[in-house]
Amino acid sequence: MDGDQETPSDRLRQAFEMFEFGVEMMAANLRRRHPAASAEAIEHLLEAWLADRPGALDGDADGIPVQLLPSP
């Protein structure tokens, strides 16, 4: 294997780093848009943003959504 070629673990690490960078960017955006908001309020807004899935309300997979049974 060539020493310059990325391994799957390298790509996964980069994906996690990009995710964290995106979260940090959105937190900065929220602080700019809501300068009087407390740290807790910004955290709440950030969590709401992370939970929102426009265009993927039922997830990213193809197929018919099904209701999963709760764990016993």
Which residue segment(s) compose the domain that 38 sits in? 9-51
Residue 65 lies in a domain: no
Q: Which DSSP state fits 12?
A: H
Which tens digits make up the pLDDT trace of 23-59?
999 999 999 999 999 999 999 999 999 888 777 777 7
Q: Is residue 42 domain-resident?
A: yes
The answer to whether position 67 is within a domain reads: no
The answer to whether residue 72 is domain-embedded is no
- 27: in domain: yes
Q: Is residue 56 part of a domain?
A: no
Number of domains in the chain: 1
* Residue 53, C-beta contacts closer than 8 angstroms, at least 6 positions apart: 59
Instruction: Phi first, then psi: give them for residue 69, nearest 5 degrees.
Output: -75, 145
Q: pLDDT grade, residue 2 (50/70/90)?
A: low
Rounded CA separation 45/26 (Å): 10
- Asked if residue 1 has pLDDT above 60, the reply is no
